[in-house]
Amino acid sequence: MKLYHTPISTNSRRVWVALLEKNLDFELVEIHLDGDHLEPEFVAMNPFHRIPVLVDGDFTVVESLAILDYLEAKYPEPTMLPKDAKDLAIVKMVQLVTVNELGPALYPLSSEKMGWGIPEAQEIAKAKEKVDTVLTFFEGLLDDRPFFGSNTLTYAECVAGTVVPLLSWVGVSVDGYPKIQAWCDRLLARPSWQQTQFTQADLAAFASRRQKFLEQFQAS
């Protein structure tokens, strides 16, 4: 299998972590998103020119959540989706709230660090309020088990667990959420999280390449 990805992308990191946690053989292909994603070969794989893309033999999958479901169906061990109806609903809620609520809130919060400009104070305040709502919701979903709806790692961790720890990096603390804090510590200790953690250098290199690409793209 081949995973086309970018190290700093949470969309692709969730798949990378799942491949590692499922102990699958795969090759990483780095896409810089500096124009390489608009090359005909890449667009032929994903007409929306986004990473991640998974190629498994002659089959290509785009959209990170679709890739995760494909991996679970094709490589079911170790399982990463609970069978119990309520537990499955918890995992799915965590996945979708991360993608639909938390992800968009992180965008204005990380904008300055990414060199994309300083958002309006009101936009920042609104994003922080949204993050608080998400964290309160997540804190309520965690019970006495170590993971969301499960005693073993699930896709809730692959998806939310690669985004929530970034909050401290954008100046939002999870101190007021003891279960979330302990859950983050548990994840950050795992080899799959450590192996996929992007560095400050990855971030700087990405931001500068992307900036140059966008300037050229807008000028053309």
Q: Which residues bind ligand GSH (CB under 6 A)?
A: 9, 11, 33, 37, 49-52, 63-65
Residue nearer to ligand GSH on the CB measure, 32 or 179: 32
Amino acid 176 reads G
User: Taking a C-beta distance cutoff of 8 angstroms, is the pair 68, 158 a contact?
Assistant: yes
Residue nearer to ligand GSH on the CB measure, 96 or 118: 96
CB of 9 to ligand GSH, least distance (A): 4
Residue nearer to ligand GSH on the CB measure, 60 or 181: 60
The alpha carbon of residue 75 and the mean position of all alpha carbons in its chain are separated, in whole angstroms, by 20
d(CA 29, CA 31): 6
Amino acid 116 reads W
Comparing every residue's Cβ against ligand GSH, the nearest one is 50
CB of 8 to ligand GSH, least distance (A): 8
Terminal alpha carbon distance of the chain: 36
Residue nearer to ligand GSH on the CB measure, 11 or 110: 11
CB of 213 to ligand GSH, least distance (A): 10
d(CA 28, CA 40): 20
Task: Work out the burial of residue 195: count CB atoms within 10 Å of its CB; fewer than 13 is exposed, 13-18 middle, 19 or more buried.
Answer: exposed
CB of 218 to ligand GSH, least distance (A): 14
